[in-house]
Structure 1
Amino acid sequence: MPILGLGLHFIVALYFGIHAIRSRQNMYWLMILFMFPLLGSIVYFFAIYLPELRYTRGGRVAKKVIKQLVDPNRELREARQAFDLTPTLDKRLRLAAALMETGAVAEALQHYQEAAQGPFARDPAVLAGLARAQFDNALYAPAATSLQTLFEVQPDSRRQPAPALLHARTLAALGQESARDAFEAALVVASDPEPKCRYADWLSGHDHPADQARASHLYQEIVQDSRHWHSHAKSLNKQWLQQAQAALNQGKSS
């Protein structure tokens, strides 16, 4: 057992040693890690690894998950207190975003609508939040209008993953065939499998064989891509992978 523990210490030290080399840390860290594997690893974790992790996407997600587990209403509570103290636009948008995260979409919509009444009515952050809140409240036509204004004010937002996908979903909810082109555009700028899955779901509702085949191909791509995901990506995209697998299994049984 002591040998096993000692081996584990060296494995951890080796991991941090590789991290030190890749992140171009001072080489004295390697000496510390391998001369004092346990103590060195602990010091390296708190001095270098943990602070750096905070700025990665995975670190931000992990931090968010931990906050949700420890105090799920903390962000909403703090956002509401900050807004009550000084009701600025930034603090209103923070509160609205926190309300969206907790599922209070009706109250969130009120804040976005208030923000859109003033001089910041054409502010991209206001329009993006307003469109999302309108969509989540099943106000699809107003959401489409807000998105169109956003694209006029900030043309680059058409090529951003979140607005592009929301645009496609809004057109699909309105029953517009132009949703097809919007979904295709969303796929080009996609950063995760959600657009593929939502597009495939929409195509699956069509009877045309070509649409059915395209949907099946998109589901298959998600499953195939998942074989190359690391564990964190699999955790983040679990919902879309499960939906794709279920859709493919249903297609085989029908």
Structure 2
Amino acid sequence: MSSLGLGGIGGIGLHVIVAIFFAVHAVRTHQNMYWLLLLFLFPGLGSVVYFFAVYLPSLRQTRGARAAGRAIRQIVDPNRAVREARDAFDRAPTVDHRMRLGAALLDAGQPAEALTHYQTAANGPFASDPALLEGLARAQVATGQPAPAQATLETLFSHHPHAREQATPSLLYAQALAATGAPGTRAAFEQALTSASDAAPRCLFADWLAAQPDAADRERAKALYADIVHDARHWPRHAREHNREWLQRAQAALGQ
């Protein structure tokens, strides 16, 4: 009898813990408040419904999951995204379809053509659109145009200040400043580190630090490279694939 009672208490406790976990997720991601009511009134059933309706789809939208998905699609059908985006643009040459094609071209390693699409879109009424400006800056950096990229990103930050704290724009800005030797490069990389979700900012900052004359900077560069190598031991497979370039660069810099 006592063992049955303990089992019941343990089961109820687990349901409550899971429900609390999902409730915290709901609050942090600004879900409708009726989810909290469902989770606390029906912790078991509510948790199951929340997992499939909200939590699992949100996992698929993380940057790591999107990167892993792109990597898989590139292996299975490397031209599919560009082909589908080009077909959509040919049928309806809207700004949205032009930006989709530009993003697909960038992911496929064709930044020059992507740049022409983003430049064309930037001359229209959506010139201050954050996705457009970020894509344009990506294409400018990828085609070796850091000064225009810096200007594009400063336009982005002026219209959308929160973008300065986002991973991709903050890293692009640091790269642009580093390439032109502009003041503020160090601060830009520090900002990129606070927004980072992968190893790229650490590796690129370490590359920049390693080229500085101060011995303390070179020591910090070694520490950043070492952090990447250390963290790689715990990365899941998709993270290792996504960060392969940065891990190899860190290992090479450390002479491993």
Common fold, TM-score beyond 0.5?
yes
Matched, 1:135 2:141: yes
Q: Relative to 1, partners in 2 of residues 1:153 and 1:54: Cα closer, same or farther, differing over 3 Å?
A: closer
Q: Is the 8 A contact 2:68 2:238 kept in 1?
A: no
Aligned mate of 1:177, from 155, 166, 183: 183
Out of 80, 104, 124, which is 1:118 matched to?
Answer: 124
Q: 1:147 aligns with which of 150, 153, 156?
A: 153
Please tell me whether the aligned partners of residues 115 and 121 of structure 1 are also in contact (alpha carbons under 8 angstroms): yes
Q: Matches of 1:229 and 1:146 in 2, distance apart?
A: 34
Separation in 2 of the partners of 1:60 and 1:132? 17
Look up the match of 2:71: 65
3-state SS, counterpart of residue 207 of structure 2: helix
For structure 1, the 5+ residue unaligned runs are 1-21, 30-47
Structure 2 equivalent of residue 35 of structure 1: none
CA drift of 1:239 comes to 2.0
For 1:146, the aligned partner's letter is T
Q: Which amino acid aligns with 2:202?
A: K
- TM-score when normalising by structure 1: 0.74
1:1-254 alignment to 2 at 5 Å? Answer: 52=56, 56=60, 57=62, 60-249=66-255
Identity %: 52
Give 2:181's aligned amino acid.
G
Alignment CA distance shift 1:228-1:69 (3 Å): closer
Q: How many residues align?
A: 210
- Structure 2 residue ranges without an equivalent (≥5): 1-17, 23-42
Q: In 2, Cα distance between the equivalents of 1:55 and 1:190?
A: 17
Aligned twin of 1:14: none
Deviations 1:80-104 (A, max 9, x none): 1111111111101001111112222
Deviations 1:146-179 (A, max 9, x none): 0000000000000001000000000000012321
The secondary structure found in structure 2 opposite 1:228 is coil
Distance 1:158 1:212, change over 3 A: same
C-alpha distance 81-198 of structure 1, shift in aligned 2 (>3 A): same
Instruction: Measure how far apart 1:200 and its partner are.
Output: 0.4
Output the aligned Cα RMSD: 2.7
Q: State the distance in 2 between where 1:238 and 1:139 align.
A: 25
Residues 37-71 of structure 1 deviation map (CA, whole Å, 9 limit, x = unaligned): xxxxxxxxxxx8xxx58952465445433332332
Shift, 1:238, TM fit: 2.3
Amino acid corresponding to residue 159 of structure 1 in structure 2:
E
| C-alpha contact (below 8 Å) 1:54/1:60 kept by paired residues | no
RCO higher in structure (CA 8 A, sep ≥6): 2
Amino acid at match of 1:189: S
The one-letter code sitting in structure 1 at the alignment partner of 2:231 is D
- Pair 1:106–1:61, CA change in 2 (3 A): closer
Q: Secondary structure at the match of 2:127?
A: coil
Q: Distance in 2 between matches of 1:134 and 1:61?
A: 21
Quote the Cα distance in structure 2 between the aligned partners of 1:104 and 1:162: 18
Say if 1:74 and 1:246 are closer, same or farther in 2 by CA, change over 3 A: same
Counterpart residue type for residue 164 of structure 2: R
